[in-house]
Amino acid sequence: MAYNNPDGVMIGLEIHVQLNRLKTKMFCGCSTQYHNSQPNTHVCPVCMGLPGALPVINEGAVEASMKVGLALNCEVTDRTQFHRKNYYYPDLPKGYQVSQYDYPIVSNGKVVIEGEDGELVVRIRRAHMEEDPGKMVHMGTIDKSRGTLIDYNRSGMALLEIVTEPDLRSPKEARRFLDKLRNILEYLDVFDSNLEGSMRVDANISIGGGSRTEVKNISSHKGAERALIYEIMRQKNLLRRGGVVTMETRHFDEARGVTTSMRTKEEEHDYRYFPEPDLVPLKVKDRTSRLLDTLPELPDARRDRFVSQYGVPEMHAKALTSDIKVADFYEMVAEKVDPKVAATWVADVLKGELNYRDLTVKSFNVEDMVKIIQMVIDDRITDRSGVEVIRTMLDSGGIPMDIVQQKGLMKAEDSVVSSAVDEAIKENAAAVEDYMQGKEQSMNFLVGQVMKKTRGRADPQTVREMIISRIK
């Protein structure tokens, strides 16, 4: 069913992405690994803006930006240039930010997302490179601060500002776009979303063709969705009461979930852009084909491959590829067990349980997942028990076989094996002791005892693991 956008919502986003997977900053050799470091320890004359220091373009940042552009289906400019954006702020050490103006490195791209009514093409107007300012830290609370300290460790970090056309029609679509963008950036390995302040969003929004407002500096995807929901409501209420939406910049108060006015159009800065005389224009287009060759498989392509290679449903393929770590995890599991069953377990069960606990797939290991799925496939535990094993492991750790045993999740047939194992251990204390002393053959003896008791119905490898886990 077509989405008719009842309020005439138009949303455009400006996303500041910190290229934090680079080794060094945008214009100097300082390390980007400043998180968890003392303030002002990752600085030099260049990123501190000391008099006389000069910037040098980080070629890695240029190529990372081009890769992002190519992944967003952008055109690469023939000639790119840096400009100075002039404004005063304590965290801006030079009194200007080196940014790009009329020659952004890439432009005219598009990203397809899942819209309110099927696929939605979101046009990318441009993406340009710039440097991050430092960070202000208020001593005490902001209203009762004894002073403000500035940490320039962040100063000079490479940023890519990605600007969309106002093609998004709802806060949900905005959030989906951000999720998709983050996913693409992580596939490209230019960006780690887990680091503080790595992605910051400015959202432009208008309804019914009226003036737009810009909500600045939103730090999370959820925040963006909430800010936009609030802003639509605010603009609608304003119009209902006979008011007019004026063009202005607003601030999103994350704690209260509201936006407040920062400045009106008349108070807008005049940034007095002019070409940065300390840098020379760059010719970059000739690197395009080489960089295209180095682009990794991107989420959409990987999704299609999952469908064709593993025969998994589209829905699962989407869920699995929407996070590179999940997709990598899935492929490792799919190597060992039936890929279709694996898809259900990873996409539906594991992902859900992880999300519920705010954990990432890093918290689970591939072998455990394989074992659980294998037990289900072998019909030794039920689906429900499999879910319980995963939950228990996430909440209190442990290994799958033990949990199955402790919770008595084993199906009837397996409980025969389980009791046989218990019996074998009890009856052969000497052999157990020998094994503990390092005698490998004793284990073979013990496994043999179990095989005898179960008349060969048990899987020797599983038995072996069961014995080991119980005697240790």
Handedness of CA 433, 436, 437, 438 (dihedral sign): positive
Count of beta carbons in the 10 Å neighbourhood of residue 339: 19
CA distance linking residue 300 with residue 181, whole number of Å: 12
Does residue 299 interact with other proteins by CB under 8 A?
no
Dig out the tokens for 470 from the structure.
Answer: 């119980």
User: How many chain residues interact with other proteins (CB under 8 A)?
Assistant: 29
Nearer to other proteins, 148 or 355 (CB): 148
> 124 - beta bridge partners?
109, 164
Nearer to other proteins, 150 or 416 (CB): 150
Question: What is the Cβ-side half-sphere exposure of residue 388, based on CA atoms within 13 angstroms?
Answer: 16
Question: What is the Cβ-side half-sphere exposure of residue 324, based on CA atoms within 13 angstroms?
Answer: 18
Q: Do 393 and 364 touch, CB atoms closer than 8 A?
A: yes
**175-234 residues near other proteins, rule: CB under 8 A:** none
Q: H/E element holding 125?
A: strand 118-131
Q: How far is the CB of 54 from other proteins (least distance, A)?
A: 5
CA distance linking residue 380 with residue 374, whole number of Å: 9
Q: How far is the CB of 170 from other proteins (least distance, A)?
A: 34
User: What DSSP letter does each residue of 185-202 carry, written as one string?
Assistant: HHHTTS--TTSTTSEEEE
Q: Which of 31, 56, 377, 430 is close enough to bind other proteins by CB under 8 A?
A: 56
The stretch near other proteins (CB under 8 A) out of 55-63, 303-311, 348-356, 382-390 is 55-63
Q: How far is the CB of 26 from other proteins (least distance, A)?
A: 13
The stretch near other proteins (CB under 8 A) out of 86-94, 102-110, 254-262, 454-462 is 86-94
> Which value, in Å, is the radius of gyration of the alpha carbons in the chain?
28
Site string for other proteins, 355-394 (x = CB under 8 A): ----------------------------------------
Q: Do 132 and 18 touch, CB atoms closer than 8 A?
A: yes
CA distance linking residue 216 with residue 203, whole number of Å: 7
Q: How far is the CB of 131 from other proteins (least distance, A)?
A: 14
Q: Which of 12, 93, 171, 386 is close enough to bind other proteins by CB under 8 A?
A: 93
Does residue 48 interact with other proteins by CB under 8 A?
yes
**96-135 residues near other proteins, rule: CB under 8 A:** 96
Q: How far is the CB of 25 from other proteins (least distance, A)?
A: 14
Nearer to other proteins, 274 or 356 (CB): 274
Q: How far is CA 88 from CA 152, 201, 266, in A?
A: 15, 21, 18
The stretch near other proteins (CB under 8 A) out of 51-59, 122-130, 343-351, 387-395 is 51-59
Closest to 89 measured CA to CA, from 35, 177, 150: 150
Q: How far is the CB of 47 from other proteins (least distance, A)?
A: 12
Nearer to other proteins, 27 or 191 (CB): 27
Please report, as ranges, the residues that interact with other proteins according to CB under 8 A. 45, 48-57, 84, 86, 88, 90, 93-96, 148, 150, 270, 272-274, 277-280
